Each structure stands twice: as structure tokens, then as C-alpha cells.
């Protein structure tokens, strides 16, 4: 079974600064997807960014980017120009393969605090 | 992306009772998932609900405790039976949608407190 590890229970960043959230995973599969989800106090899970394992290029979505190191099984999220609205729980998640029917396997989450 | 609603959004229930949580999607989806998020914890998969077949439960979750219905491609229910305080959690419905690749979207969750 795949495991996802987020070693930072809490992180803090000042507004407009950059912060990196860490995630490592364990798998024997060669084809998989990795995700970062954001869960604000409203509880709604919001997809932030995804990375296909077969792609060497790191995914970016506006202020959010990832550093995907497949050999090291590392998948960190970088948030640039942090905003107060970025404050939330961030979950790293793993999904097997591109086919239908695979659920997400989540890490324990990192609580991000953004200070003015 | 699919728009997902859940009812109720929150409830407080007495131990020994049951609660049925509804999940409604605005489009037809084949796969639906139910997750549990205990206080301060991550999401744990309860079961996968494929329309037209019995739900598939993860280790540690049983049908008698968490019966699931999936009567059509836009709706599912999860029942939490014979509740105890340990069942106090957020229960999230999720759907899989194909948009060139399979994406998973989440409902707003149901916050359950058992007293």
C-alpha cells in the first residue's frame, strides 16, 4: 500500500513571502498522480495542483508550484507571494494510475498560517 | 467541474441512533467515494460506490455500520448506524469525473457530532 508522509504539522509564513510544504511518499508503482489539496475552515476540499508521475516538468498553477523528485519520492508545494486567503490545511495525496476507480491516499496534512 | 452538495451540513446526534447523509451531484458520474475525517486528522476512505454494484469497503469499515446506497448516477447516501462518540467526524462525499484524465472533486462535508 502507498503511504504519504507530511512531516510538517504546522507552518507559518508572512504575507507576500514564499513557503514550501513537504511531502514524501512510498510506492512501487511507476505510473501515478500526486496532488495538493487545500482545506480552509469551511471544510471544502479544493484541488490546488496535480502532477503526473510520467511528466518530468514540474506543475505550476499561478502562485503554486511543485518540486517533484520522482527518484527521491518527494513532492513539495511552493506557495509564492502568500496571501491571507492561503491559510488552510494542505493535504498531499497520491492516486494510483490513470484509470477509473482509484481513491486518493492522503497525508496527515500541514496547517498553514499566514501572518500580516 | 462537478458541483456536489451534501445534506445535512452538520448534525448533533445521540449515541445509538443512525444518520443518513445524502450526496447529490449535478452531473452523472460513475464512481463516488465516501471519506471520513476525524477531528484534526486526515481523510480516510470508507468505501467506493460504483453505480449498479455493491459498495466496496476499506479495511476497518463494514457494511452493517456504514451502509451505502447508490441508486443512480447522481446520488448516493451513507448511513452511520448505531452511532457512538467515536463516530464524530466530518464525512465527505467525492466524485470522479473524466476531463481528459480522472479528477476527483469533493462535497462540502457533513460534520457529525455524537453525544
Q: What is the pLDDT of residues B74-113, one digit of tens each?
A: 999 999 999 999 999 999 999 998 888 788 999 999 999 9
pLDDT given at position A2:
81
pLDDT given at position A98:
67
Asked if the model's pLDDT at residue A12 lies above 70, the reply is: yes
Q: Which of A33, A43, A106 sits opposite B42 (nearest CB)?
A: A106
pLDDT given at position B101:
79
Instruction: Name the closest residue on chain B to residue A90, using Cα atoms.
Output: B42
pLDDT given at position A21:
98
Q: Which of A52, A103, A108 sits opposite B42 (nearest CB)?
A: A108
pLDDT digits (tens, 9 = 90+) for B47-81: 999 887 889 999 999 999 999 999 999 999 999 99
**Optimal mutation site among A1, A8, A32, A43, interface B, most CBs of chain B within 10 A:** A43
Asked if the Cβ–Cβ distance from B96 to A100 is below 8 Å, we say yes
Mean pLDDT of B1-29: 95
**DSSP state, residue A72:** T
pLDDT given at position A99:
74
Mean pLDDT of chain A: 93
Residues in chain A within 8 Å Cβ distance of B103: 47, 50
Q: Is A106 in the B-facing interface, judged by CB distances under 8 Å? A: yes
Confidence of residue A30 (pLDDT cuts 50, 70, 90): confident
Q: CA Rg, chain B, in Å?
A: 13
User: Nine-digit cell at A4?
Assistant: 504519504
CA distances (Å), origin A63, targets A15, A48, A60, B11, B85: 13, 10, 8, 37, 41
pLDDT given at position B53:
81
Asked if the model's pLDDT at residue A63 lies above 70, the reply is: yes
CA dist B84 and B96 (Å) reads: 30
Asked if the Cβ–Cβ distance from A101 to B96 is below 8 Å, we say yes
For residues B81-105, one letter each, b for 16 or more C-beta atoms within 10 angstroms of the residue's C-beta and e for the rest, the string is bebeeebbbbbbbbbbbeeeebbbb
Asked if the model's pLDDT at residue A97 lies above 90, the reply is: no
| Listed ranges A73-82, A96-105, B50-59; the one with the highest mean pLDDT | A73-82
Range of weakest confidence among A7-16, A30-39, A68-77, B92-101 = B92-101
Rounded to a whole number of angstroms, the distance from the CA of B87 to the nearest CA of chain A is 18
User: Nine-digit cell at B17?
Assistant: 441512533
**Optimal mutation site among B34, B43, B109, interface A, most CBs of chain A within 10 A:** B43
pLDDT digits (tens, 9 = 90+) for A32-57: 999 999 999 888 899 999 999 999 89
Residues in chain B within 8 Å Cβ distance of A47: 103-105
Asked if the Cβ–Cβ distance from A47 to B105 is below 8 Å, we say yes
Amino acid at each position: 500500500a502507498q503511504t504519504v508522509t507530511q512531516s510538517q504539522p504546522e507552518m507559518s509564513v508572512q504575507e507576500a513571502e514564499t513557503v514550501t510544504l513537504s511531502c514524501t511518499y512510498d510506492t512501487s508503482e511507476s505510473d501515478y498522480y500526486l496532488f495538493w489539496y487545500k482545506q480552509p475552515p469551511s471544510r471544502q476540499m479544493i484541488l490546488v495542483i496535480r502532477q503526473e508521475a510520467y511528466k518530468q516538468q514540474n506543475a505550476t498553477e499561478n502562485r503554486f508550484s511543485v518540486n517533484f523528485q520522482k527518484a527521491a519520492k518527494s513532492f513539495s508545494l511552493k506557495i509564492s507571494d502568500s496571501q491571507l486567503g492561503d491559510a488552510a490545511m494542505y493535504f498531499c495525496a497520491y492516486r494510483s494510475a490513470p484509470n477509473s476507480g482509484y481513491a486518493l491516499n492522503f497525508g496527515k496534512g500541514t496547517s498553514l498560517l499566514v501572518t500580516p | 467541474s462537478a458541483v456536489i452538495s451534501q445534506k445535512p451540513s452538520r448534525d448533533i446526534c445521540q449515541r445509538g441512533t443512525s444518520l443518513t447523509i445524502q450526496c447529490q451531484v449535478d452531473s452523472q458520474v460513475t464512481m463516488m467515494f465516501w471519506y471520513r475525517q476525524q477531528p484534526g486528522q486526515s481523510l480516510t476512505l470508507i468505501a467506493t460506490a460504483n453505480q449498479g454494484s455493491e459498495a466496496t469497503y476499506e479495511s476497518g469499515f463494514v457494511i452493517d455500520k456504514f451502509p451505502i446506497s447508490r441508486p443512480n448516477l447522481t446520488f448516493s447516501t451513507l448511513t452511520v448506524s448505531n452511532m457512538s462518540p467515536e463516530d464524530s467526524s466530518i464525512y465527505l462525499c467525492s466524485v470522479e469525473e473524466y476531463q481528459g484524465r480522472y479528477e476527483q472533486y469533493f462535497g462540502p462535508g457533513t460534520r457529525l457530532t455524537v453525544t
